[in-house]
Chains A and B, each alone.
Chain A
């Protein structure tokens, strides 16, 4: 079944409202425009072929009646002569419906409006007609804000139904479909102007001239883009090769380091152990008899660092004892060495063995 939609430009809607605002009663008139049927075929995963028919009423113009009940009587019988008089130079075929504006009433068709609508359809031999209803009302009690509601109706088998109204703005609000071409303007002046100046903008195939130029530019752009893509690919491949080389070099370097680092550490350990043993033996020979001295002296000595001319690393850990006699005089005994970490002989020997 066809789904009807009413479309009108903001200008037409605004002029309808403007007419009523300037009137002290209800107003009514005829709507001119174009109605067409569009078949849309939708293909989806679930359904291969879904045909959807849209019935679109494009309102382009309205003609107001000078007074109410001008083209019908009390029971809704339509006077076709009166309709033609209202239309004046406009064609009867361009009538796609009629409208009425009534203040402070419900947004429903009245009894007479339904009668008139049915009779208008049969009088003008047009089964597809719409009725547009505008119902302004006060929104606030003091009347500072007014509301202008509008709706469209159509009838099928004497059943009246509401039809959505879309107001064409600078851009359509639909985002899911392609742009639908609006109805061609029927104004004679417009057609004359297009005929006169059209050749400056349109080529022989009906497209705008700039469209061909833009297409050419697009082709050039595509070629440049492809070239740039090729260059990028080449450089990427080069980068890949270089990265592989760098990885190989790094691997070799780390291997070399590992080999060198292992010998060095073992060697230094051997040197330290040797030194420690040597020191232990030396101290044992030199100071083994003087354990008692050291033990006698005990903890009451300070240690003097070796002179700076002594370069051996062993002097970091040893020094010369400084004794203090009973009178408080200090003297350095350079015939002995003392461990900086302990103060008695036994511990001294342990430290020497450790070194």
Chain B
């Protein structure tokens, strides 16, 4: 259901509340996904003339899952605060004192519902973290991440249902990777008119059992970041190829991470997209001795790499023109 359809069907008194949810409703780490509204229904009799819908399902992206919560208003009493049914999480009972926008519900504030939903998600996160206590191994993983301020505040946990047959318990961690995208220029954007959204890199790690013997990582890049990446190793994350442009000169950079990275330095291979060698291969140069230190964090490494590129690209371009054939 598109936001416009939902807004047309909702009761007029409730429309402002729903408007901020469907238009500005980006919650959680995965802000590329908006909140969605479906199953609009009414608590009025069928003789009541529309639009009079006052209850709906809200789809909330969380930790790689989609929560489906029922939100119930009353069109005849629009000033009353909404009520919630938390889908399959029947045992989730948030602490009312931690929901200030419910305690002081203000039907005249269009942002009230959105803020309340965010507070509920916070409570839901605490509830899921509590459920991790069923597995000491997963709890250990969680506590380790919590100690690191880079991850502790940017984490969503979803503890799955315990399988009543096998007793297996699974969980998913969604982490926002602390990457500074401000210095990375936007080299290629398919449609500059479209808002690509916030630049974000998310790592989703699924533990299929309580002892963490089966682990499945997955990397999510926001569309604007993904545009510049040609390909990358999605399993071991040891290889990355970028398509870059410098003064109208396009080239590929292959980054190979060795087995003992960061102890060992990654290999950078620059490759022209225009020039061929005599043997018919694309003209390329491998660089292994550029400024590098294993003690640098990820952002520092990227910053230094960017500085190196700036100094190296001009001579690479000259070499490509001199030694390569178009």
Contact = CB atoms under 8 A, between A and B. Distances in A.
Interface of A: 21, 24-26, 67-69, 74-76, 102-106, 108-115, 138, 143, 158-160
Interface stretch (B98-106, B140-148, B178-186, B189-197): B98-106
B1 to A, nearest CB: 16
Contacts of B91: 159
A313 B138 CA distance: 123
Interface of B: 41-46, 48, 55, 70, 72, 74-77, 80-81, 83-86, 90-91, 93-94, 96-97, 99, 102-103, 105
A110 B43 contact: no
5 contacts: A24-B44, A75-B103, A110-B85, A111-B84, A138-B46
A99 to B, nearest CB: 15
Most chain A CB neighbours (cut-off 10 Å) among B42, B43, B105: B43
Nearest to A118: B93
B76 A25 contact: yes
A108 B43 contact: no
Given A26-B43, A105-B85, A106-B85, 13 more contacts: A24-B76, A25-B43, A25-B74, A74-B80, A75-B99, A102-B43, A103-B45, A109-B85, A111-B85, A111-B94, A112-B84, A143-B46, A159-B91
A120 B85 CA distance: 20
Contacts of A25: 43-44, 74-77
Nearest to A21: B45
The 3 closest A-B pairs by CB, nearest first: A75-B96, A104-B41, A25-B76
A160 B45 CA distance: 29
Contacts of B76: 24-25
A99 B70 CA distance: 20
Nearest to A68: B77
Contacts of A105: 41, 43, 55, 70, 72, 85
A160 B92 CA distance: 12
A112 B44 CA distance: 20
Nearest to A103: B43
B70 A106 contact: yes
Nearest to A137: B41
Nearest to A20: B45
Most chain A CB neighbours (cut-off 10 Å) among B86, B90, B96: B96
B35 to A, nearest CB: 18
A68 B84 contact: no
Nearest to A160: B90
Contacts of B55: 104-105
B45 A111 contact: no
Contacts of B85: 105-106, 108-111
B77 A67 contact: yes
B83 A158 contact: no
Nearest to A74: B81
Contacts of A159: 91
Contacts of A114: 93
B43 A104 contact: yes
A158 B91 CA distance: 9
Contact of A110 (B42, B72, B75): B72
Contacts of A74: 80-81, 102-103, 105
A113 B84 CA distance: 9
A24 to B, nearest CB: 5
Contacts of A113: 83
A106 B91 CA distance: 16
A294 B93 CA distance: 133
Contacts of A115: 93, 96
